[in-house]
Structures are given as structure tokens and as C-alpha cells.
């Protein structure tokens, strides 16, 4: 068993599970062994490097504070340098179902712990794809959030500028729930005020117009995934993979690898005998790269990023196979650098371009698990999640939309309650979804309001408060969440006589909702008896 570098005693775990409280109470958590757990050695897959931290990394602390119980520290490609899961003195972590194949790495033990049920969730890290490739090979979900939105304090750096803490779980709802806890409890990078909180109802998804290196069986699986999305109402567009793949090559083939030397180079130089030969050769080769070459490569990277993002203009997300194929342990042993490099072709560019990603299973490629990754712009994690949910919701074959997404736990958001033309399925709904608003469900006002139909195009309701002492109705509405900037823009575009302001709800709370200029409302047709725009529409009482 090469999953674990350190396992807690089952009795301890059972005691903690029994005592746990909080939103993740009793959830069993595996932690990649480059992330600090208080009192347990952090080895980064290199016993000579080990140190024992006094306290949990903020990511671990956040999950524990929510009730998750650490079950152990997991094996990894040493210093998180690899995508295969074989570069460890503890031995290669094999695929959970087909042991002759690699598990994927560098978060190999974490992914297999979840795939085998030894843990419910696991912390991974991701620089080049370490939180996505093993998810794909193991048929589980891996969330790689926007760079920096989860603190990497207490994490042994690989490439400090691009490292992310990631989360594995068997299905998307659990992974999402745990990510919400992570982001809220271990957040770092500030969220902008104009984040989209949902994918649009008919998203546009880009795919590469060619997929070099893709295994033919995997190609078929990818085409099935794309076809199912298209049938589900997703518009598919194609983009040139060149700037993406060129950036991917820069991560190891250019000067960026100097980040790895900066992180652990002095140790590697001093302890050559303790370091995996492949990992050591990669890191040592970075020692003498001149700084001006790194400057040039970063300028090249910025140009590639501009081109890549420009090619995605109009698309909500990019969809790729998570990896082009899954090598055997023997194949990796025969060509450790080449095989690893091929595995990362579709993942390496992600963090360099400041994209977020969600890796989800999507059926089989022959005998292999097949997985795809939905990539979106920085802070559009909610968009990526919604599109990923169309592909898989974990155990079930029937995609179901997510009720909630983890960015709601951290991104600034405002609410607006709508009563008529902006209800789901009504003609102006798109004014909200175009702004990235997220539908949060039905609500009702306090029984203090009048509902009228305005003679506008399209027809709109006027919800106005009855004078004190007069009876009113509880009007049915829907609640949407949107970013502060989206709410400001929505208001700025609002035509007369519509207004926005605070409306009272049944529980006595007040929420931002649609109102109407009083004179226009008075001139409208009173349809309060229906107390619902859709009911009035169905009854033919409008227009």
C-alpha cells in the first residue's frame, strides 16, 4: 500500500469522527504530504526533507474547523514535481483499479485515497495539473480553484507563483461543499466586485480544434462528452490550441522551472542522495538559468496568455480531455521525463494563464476512466462548476444542476428579488443571466403588497406597498444573487417606471427587490388576487 506516508490510528480517527461537529462533521480527510498537519511530519515525499510543523496549514485548519477528520498524509511525486505518481521513495502509487497503470500525480495518494473510499475528501496541490490529472485517472472530481483564492501557507512550494491547494472528492457536490469551507476559512486573494456567479443557461464552450497526442480511445470518449453537451444546449466553438500548448511547454522547458530551484534547490544540492533522480535532475538543471531568460519567458508567457484569452472571448469556458492518455508504470519508468511531459499537455497552461479548473469523470475510454476538465477565467469558478455539473454529478449518470457553488461563500454578492418579466423562463431573464446572476429559488413578500400589470412591452408587474392599515397580498417572486457591479449595471439600465428598493418578506426582513413609480403602478391593472405574475399570466389576466 503506497497511498500513505503517514496514517493516523483508526481508534483516534473514530473518536474524532464521533466528536466532530460542523458542516463537514465526520468527513474523512486525506492530506497530501506537502501540506502541514500539526504534529505530523511534512515530508514532501522526501524523508530527509521532513520537518514537523507546530500548526496546520490554513487549508487543513479550515476543513478541520468545519468537522473534517484527518485520516493521514498521502504519497506524492516528490516535491510535487511530476504528474505520474511514480517519483517517490515510498514507491509508485498505482491506479486504484488497474495497478499496472500510473495513478497520476503529483497528488497521487490523495486521489487514490478518495477513489478507494479510504477518504471522503482529500487535499491536493496543483501547479502543472497535480490536482486534475490524478482525478481523471481515478474517476473522481478535482477542483483547482483560481490561483491564490486558497492560502498556500504551510504548503511546501513547488512553483510558488502558480501553486494551488486543490480538493478531491468522489462527486461534485461534496467537492464543492468542502471547497466552500476552504475558500471561506483559508482565503487569501481578494475577489473582484464583478464576478459571475453562474454559467448562463446556454453556455458557450470552446474546445481545441486539434488535440495532438490524444489516445484514439480517449478521442472517442471526448467526442461523446462534447456531443452530449451540445445535445444539452451548450454551444461548442473551436479555438487554436497553439498558445495554450506553447505555454504548457514553457512550464518545464523554459526558465520558469527556476521557481522550483528557488523553492527547494538548496536542499536538493545538499542532499543529492536523498532526492528522486528524475526530480533532482529537473531541479538541479534550473540552478544556472539566468534571470534575464526568466524575464523573457515571462514576457512570452504574457503574450501567449493575451492571445489565448482573446481566442476565448465569447466563450464561457474551455473544455479539454484532462490528459491525452494514461501511461503504465513501466512506460513512465522507461521514459520518466517524456511520459510525464505528455501527460501534462492539456493541464500545464492553466495556472500560468490564471485560469480555474474543474476536473470531472466522463465515462470510460476503453478500460480507462476518462475525465475532462472545464477551465474558466480567473474567479469564474462558478461558471466552470456549472458547466462541469452538466457533464457529471459524480455517481449518477444524469447531470443535475448545482443548487449552490462554493464561490458564493466568498465572492461579494448582492441579491435582487424579481416578480415578473425577470422570473426564470420569462422574457427578460437574460438581463440577469447575462450579468452572471445566479437563481436562488422562489420567495414571497410579506402580505403587504399590491400587484398590478403595467402596459409595457413586455408586460411587467408593479409591486407596491399598501398604505399602513390596508390589507395586501404576499407576492410570489424569485431571488437572484449577483455581483455588486452587476447589480449596479442592472439598475443603471432599468427603464422607467421600474425601480429597485427594499421589500418586506414574511419573516420581517427586507430585501432589494423590484418596485415601481407610484403613478405608473396606480395606472396599472390590479391583479393582486393572483399574488403571482405567472398565475396571472396563466389565467389570461395580463395584456
User: CA–CA separation, 131 vs 111, rounded Å?
Assistant: 8
The footprint of a second copy on residues 202-261 (CB under 8 A) is 255, 258-259, 261
Selected binder of a second copy within 9, 21, 54, 291 (CB under 8 A) = 291
**Cβ neighbours for 541, distance < 8 A, ≥ 6 positions apart:** 453, 525, 527, 530
Which residue number, 7 or 499, has a Cβ lying nearer to a second copy?
499
Stretch that binds a second copy, among 186-194, 341-349, 378-386, 526-534 (CB under 8 A): 186-194
User: CA–CA separation, 452 vs 465, rounded Å?
Assistant: 11
Which residue number, 335 or 455, has a Cβ lying nearer to a second copy?
455
Convert 426-450 into a string of H (helix), E (strand) and C (coil). CCCHHHHHCCCCEEEEEEEECCCEE
204 phi and psi, to 5 degrees? -105, 125
Regarding 192 and contact with a second copy (CB under 8 A), the answer is yes
Regarding 128 and contact with a second copy (CB under 8 A), the answer is no
Regarding 499 and contact with a second copy (CB under 8 A), the answer is yes
Closest CA relative to residue 108, chosen from 127, 128, 122: 122
Q: How many residues bind a second copy (CB under 8 A)?
A: 65
Q: Which residues are catalytic?
A: 32, 106, 130
Least Å distance between CB 127 and a second copy? 13
User: CA–CA separation, 171 vs 158, rounded Å?
Assistant: 27
Selected binder of a second copy within 52, 296, 400, 509 (CB under 8 A) = 296
Regarding 272 and contact with a second copy (CB under 8 A), the answer is no
Regarding 456 and contact with a second copy (CB under 8 A), the answer is no
- Buried-exposed string 123-139: b where 16+ CB fall within 10 A, e elsewhere: bbbbbbbbbbbbbbbbb
Which residue number, 51 or 510, has a Cβ lying nearer to a second copy?
510
Site string for a second copy, 395-424 (x = CB under 8 A): -----------------x-xx---------
CA angle 420, 196, 151 (to 5 degrees): 145
User: CA–CA separation, 323 vs 217, rounded Å?
Assistant: 12
Which cell goes with 422?
A: 425577470
Angstrom CA distances, 110 to 105, 369, 392, stand at 9, 17, 21
The footprint of a second copy on residues 42-71 (CB under 8 A) is none
Selected binder of a second copy within 500, 525, 528, 534 (CB under 8 A) = 500
Regarding 14 and contact with a second copy (CB under 8 A), the answer is no
Beta strand pairing call for 28-32 and 69-74:
parallel
Selected binder of a second copy within 277, 442, 518, 543 (CB under 8 A) = 518
Selected binder of a second copy within 65, 236, 237, 294 (CB under 8 A) = 294
The footprint of a second copy on residues 465-484 (CB under 8 A) is 465-468, 482-484
Selected binder of a second copy within 20, 50, 184, 193 (CB under 8 A) = 193
Selected binder of a second copy within 184, 262, 535, 541 (CB under 8 A) = 262
Bridge partner list, 527: none
Largest CA distance in the chain: 86
Whose cell is 477518504? That residue is: 119
Which residue number, 136 or 498, has a Cβ lying nearer to a second copy?
498
Which cell goes with 412?
A: 461579494
Least Å distance between CB 145 and a second copy? 19
Regarding 336 and contact with a second copy (CB under 8 A), the answer is no
261 phi and psi, to 5 degrees? -65, -40
Footprint of a second copy (CB under 8 A): 160-161, 192-194, 255, 258-259, 261-262, 265, 286-296, 298-299, 412, 414-415, 464-468, 482-492, 494-504, 510, 512, 515-523
Amino acid at each position: 500500500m503506497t497511498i500513505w506516508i503517514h496514517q493516523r490510528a483508526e481508534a483516534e480517527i473514530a473518536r474524532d469522527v464521533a466528536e466532530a461537529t460542523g458542516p463537514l462533521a465526520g468527513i474523512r480527510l486525506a492530506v497530501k504530504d506537502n501540506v502541514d498537519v500539526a504534529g505530523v511530519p511534512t515530508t514532501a515525499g522526501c524523508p530527509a526533507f521532513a520537518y514537523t510543523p507546530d500548526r496546520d496549514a490554513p487549508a487543513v485548519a479550515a476543513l478541520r474547523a468545519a468537522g473534517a477528520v484527518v485520516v493521514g498524509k498521502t504519497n506524492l511525486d516528490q516535491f510535487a514535481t511530476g504528474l505520474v505518481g511514480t517519483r517517490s521513495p515510498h514507491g509508485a502509487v498505482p491506479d486504484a483499479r488497474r495497478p499496472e497503470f500510473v495513478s497520476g500525480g503529483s497528488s497521487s495518494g490523495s486521489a487514490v485515497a478518495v477513489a478507494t473510499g479510504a477518504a471522503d475528501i482529500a487535499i491536493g496541490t496543483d501547479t502543472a495539473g497535480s490536482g486534475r490529472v490524478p482525478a481523471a485517472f481515478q474517476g473522481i472530481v478535482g477542483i483547482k480553484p483560481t490561483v491564490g483564492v486558497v492560502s498556500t501557507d504551510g504548503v511546501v512550494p513547488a512553483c510558488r507563483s502558480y501553486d494551488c491547494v486543490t480538493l478531491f472528492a468522489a462527486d461534485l457536490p461534496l467537492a464543492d461543499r468542502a471547497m466552500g469551507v476552504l475558500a471561506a476559512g483559508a482565503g487569501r486573494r481578494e475577489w473582484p466586485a464583478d464576478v459571475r456567479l453562474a454559467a448562463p443557461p446556454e453556455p458557450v464552450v470552446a474546445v481545441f480544434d486539434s488535440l495532438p497526442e490524444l489516445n484514439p480511445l480517449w478521442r472517442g470518449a471526448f467526442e461523446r462528452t462534447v456531443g452530449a453537451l451540445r445535445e444539452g444546449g451548450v454551444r461548442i466553438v473551436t479555438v487554436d490550441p497553439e498558445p495554450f500548448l506553447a505555454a504548457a511547454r514553457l512550464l518545464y522547458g523554459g526558465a520558469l522551472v527556476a521557481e522550483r530551484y528557488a523553492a527547494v534547490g538548496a536542499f536538493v544540492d545538499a542532499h543529492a542522495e536523498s532526492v528522486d533522480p528524475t526530480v533532482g535532475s529537473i531541479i538541479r538543471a534550473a540552478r544556472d538559468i539566468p534571470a534575464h531568460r526568466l524575464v523573457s519567458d515571462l514576457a512570452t508567457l504574457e503574450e501567449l496568455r493575451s492571445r489565448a484569452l482573446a481566442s476565448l472571448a465569447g466563450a464561457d469556458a474551455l473544455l479539454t480531455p484532462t490528459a491525452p492518455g494514461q501511461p503504465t508504470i513501466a512506460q513512465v519508468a522507461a521514459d520518466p521525463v517524456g511520459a510525464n511531459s505528455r501527460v501534462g499537455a492539456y493541464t500545464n497552461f492553466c495556472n500560468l494563464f490564471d485560469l480555474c479548473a474543474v476536473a470531472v469523470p466522463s465515462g470510460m475510454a476503453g478500460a480507462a476512466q476518462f475525465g475532462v476538465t472545464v477551465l474558466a477565467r480567473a474567479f469564474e469558478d462558478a461558471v466552470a462548476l456549472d458547466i462541469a455539473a452538466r457533464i457529471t454529478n459524480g455517481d449518477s449518470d444524469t447531470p443535475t444542476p448545482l443548487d449552490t457553488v462554493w464561490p458564493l461563500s466568498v465572492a461579494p454578492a448582492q441579491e435582487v428579488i424579481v416578480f415578473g418579466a425577470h422570473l426564470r423562463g420569462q422574457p427578460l431573464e437574460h438581463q440577469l443571466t447575462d450579468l452572471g446572476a445566479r437563481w436562488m429559488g422562489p420567495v414571497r413578500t410579506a402580505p403587504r403588497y399590491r400587484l398590478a400589470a403595467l402596459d409595457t412591452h413586455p408586460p411587467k408587474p408593479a409591486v407596491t406597498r399598501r398604505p399602513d392599515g390596508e390589507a395586501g397580498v404576499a407576492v410570489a417572486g424569485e431571488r437572484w444573487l449577483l455581483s455588486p457591479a452587476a447589480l449596479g449595471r442592472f439598475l443603471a439600465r432599468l427603464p422607467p417606471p421600474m425601480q429597485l428598493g427594499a421589500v418586506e418578506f414574511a419573516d420581517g426582513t427586507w430585501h432589494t427587490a423590484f418596485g415601481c413609480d407610484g403613478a405608473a403602478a396606480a395606472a396599472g391593472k390590479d391583479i393582486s388576487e393572483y399574488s403571482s405574475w405567472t398565475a396571472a399570466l396563466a389565467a389570461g389576466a395580463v395584456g
